[in-house]
A and B are shown apart, each in its own frame.
Chain A
Amino acid sequence: MRVKRESLCSVLALMIAALLVMSIVHVSGDDPAQSSSGDILSIFFKDARAVLGKSLITRADSYYHGGVTMGDSVYCTEDHDHAHDEEGEHNHDEHPDHADEEAIHPKRVIDPWGWLNARIHVQEHRHLHGEEIEEIIPWIWAACRASPHNIEAYGMGWYVLTKMRKQTDAGLAVLQEGIRNNPDDLDLAFTLGQSLYTDVKDQAAAESAFRLVREKAFRKSKQDLTRLSEDDGRSLASALMYLTRIAEARGDIGAMRAYFEEAQVVAPNYAATQGIARMVEAAEREAGEREAGGA
């Protein structure tokens, strides 16, 4: 009798727990956080893997700077912050290398230990050039393996392989792996389209990749683009800019206008949206002139 009662209580407790979980999912309105791979290790070590992935990317960055972690120099007073271009890309060409060993500027009154440390440990940085760039690839690879949801690692892998080493196929393979592991990410999907457009010069493949970005954006925002995050909005606006350019080449002003309206919803002040506006304006002006000429 007692065993029966305990079993009944256990079943009831399980049912209550299941109801609680379901109600949380229902109230939050979002899908429950899940590991896409679903294995038990991924679920338990998800955060640890993410932290490891980030630290491996930091290591890759430090390798790019000759083993120096940026902002970690103890004795150098000059601020060597990196320049970033409009798109947020890391721009390494806007400041010179600092390989001069004599350019050590102690921050405070020189103490003997500080003096020794400043001469033994590298206090400035330099960039990898040419073939040397492959030295950072193992760390990016390890970051992708450690954390398959590390978007930055896949983006960096693509950039290093495609742009720096001119290995477009290998770079695209990295991107596709990233997209497989992160099917909802708009940034990687946009980068794939951009690479197909600019590196492979395959306009048809690029167009379908950009269309896929648009579809993903609609799916992710549940048909309401205002719900997209700022980053996703920018990725979509950038994809729309390329789609507008392709539509412009076809002379499809209707599609151009539609893309402009969508871009205005997601990122009205973004440079890509302004670029679309200029393209639409020019296309309308040209069409108007043509009509006037025809009349």
Chain B
Amino acid sequence: MIFRQFSALIRLSLLDLYRRKDLFVLLVLSLVLLAPLAMIQPFGVTGASRYMNEVAMLLIWIFSIVITLGVTSRLFPPEFESRTIYPLLAKPIGRGTLLFGKYLGALTTSLSALLFFYLLYGMMTGLRQGEWFPPIFMQAFLLHVGFVVLLAAFGLFGSLLVTPSANMTLCGIIVGGMLFYGQRLPALAEVTPVPAKWFVWLSYAIGPHFEFFDMRQRLIHSWSMVRWDACLLTLLYACVYSAACLLLANALLKRKKL
């Protein structure tokens, strides 16, 4: 029974993404950006490929963030606004089931888009460099999946607190901030005066460390794979943090007066 409810919610979410043609727009955008880059021959040199890989990977990261946040931010607020939450809860589905089902739907949708982009990336690098889906590519994908798992839960939690646009903006700032400065927060805390210092330390301790999942540098510059213990711990971190976000979101939804 519960699995049927989950599968219905997942199907709805998938249909929503592919009906809105977001993926198609992003695909066209990437082609418009990448095609001219692929054709340039800087100073007559034709063998360079890392710059293309870097731009393609950057686009994949940006698109995965946009899609995941776009999907999760719109999970609950439109249901509350149009009051379609009532027939949903009258099915009957418990609020917890609805939340987890919607999360699974958003996650499946985002992961399907991510898989699509990684397949395209894998084919692009395979055709250009003759290296088809090496192990480090699979590991980078695995960690990116962890990133989406965490971001979807974080975005879902935010969607119950603020409006969709505010949620997208705030989550975007946190994701960008953590990707750029997450590693440097302890160093920043050391040079920050006292009241702000504790805030920086707190952000470092409890903030979502999205930078853990970013393997672009290793993938693009052909470094070795991440040790599997570190990789598994990172995925465990994503699961635990996501579970915490979902539990908080569940508590919020249960307290919400409908």
A contacts, CB < 8 Å to B:
63, 66-68, 74, 101, 108, 111, 113-114, 116-117, 119-122, 131, 134-135, 137-142, 157, 161, 170, 173-174
Q: Is the CB of B51 within 8 A of A116?
A: no
Q: Tell me, yes or no, whether B22 is within 8 Å of chain A by CB.
A: no
Which residues of A have CB within 8 Å of B187?
74
Q: Is the CB of A141 within 8 A of B223?
A: no
B44-60 interface (Cβ within 8 A of A): 44-45, 47-51
Q: Is the CB of B42 within 8 A of A142?
A: yes
C-alpha gap A134/B40 in the complex (Å): 14
B30-69 interface (Cβ within 8 A of A): 40, 42-45, 47-51
Known: A111-B186, A119-B226, A135-B49. Is A67-B217 also a contact (CB below 8 A)? yes
Q: Is the CB of A138 within 8 A of B230?
A: no
Contact stretch, chosen from B118-126, B152-160, B206-214: B206-214
C-alpha gap A114/B230 in the complex (Å): 11
The 7 closest A-B pairs by CB, nearest first: A141-B42, A67-B221, A119-B230, A138-B51, A138-B42, A67-B217, A135-B50
Among A121, A134, A161, residue most surrounded by chain B Cβ atoms (within 10 Å): A121
Q: Tell me, yes or no, whether B191 is within 8 Å of chain A by CB.
A: no
Q: Is the CB of B47 within 8 A of A174?
A: no
Q: Which listed residue (A66, A121, A141) contacts B183, Cβ 8 A? A: A121
Which residues of B have CB within 8 Å of A68?
217
Q: Tell me, yes or no, whether B184 is within 8 Å of chain A by CB.
A: yes
Which residues of A have CB within 8 Å of B51?
135, 138-139
Q: Is the CB of B45 within 8 A of A137?
A: yes
Interface size range of chain B in the complex: 35 or more
C-alpha gap A44/B222 in the complex (Å): 40
Residue of B nearest to A124 (CB): B223
C-alpha gap A116/B240 in the complex (Å): 15
Q: Tell me, yes or no, whether B5 is within 8 Å of chain A by CB.
A: no
Q: Is the CB of A170 within 8 A of B44?
A: yes
Q: Tell me, yes or no, whether B224 is within 8 Å of chain A by CB.
A: yes
Q: Is the CB of B184 within 8 A of A74?
A: yes
Q: Tell me, yes or no, whether B83 is within 8 Å of chain A by CB.
A: no
Q: Is the CB of B186 within 8 A of A138?
A: no
Known: A113-B209, A137-B48, A138-B51. Is A120-B43 also a contact (CB below 8 A)? no
C-alpha gap A131/B45 in the complex (Å): 11
C-alpha gap A138/B44 in the complex (Å): 10
Q: Is the CB of A134 within 8 A of B211?
A: no
Q: Is the CB of A66 within 8 A of B223?
A: yes
Which residues of B have CB within 8 Å of A114?
186
C-alpha gap A137/B40 in the complex (Å): 12
Among A68, A138, A139, residue most surrounded by chain B Cβ atoms (within 10 Å): A138
Among A113, A120, A121, A157, residue most surrounded by chain B Cβ atoms (within 10 Å): A120
C-alpha gap A63/B221 in the complex (Å): 8
Q: Is the CB of A135 within 8 A of B183?
A: no
C-alpha gap A137/B44 in the complex (Å): 10
Q: Tell me, yes or no, whether B163 is within 8 Å of chain A by CB.
A: no
Which residues of A have CB within 8 Å of B221?
63, 66-67, 122
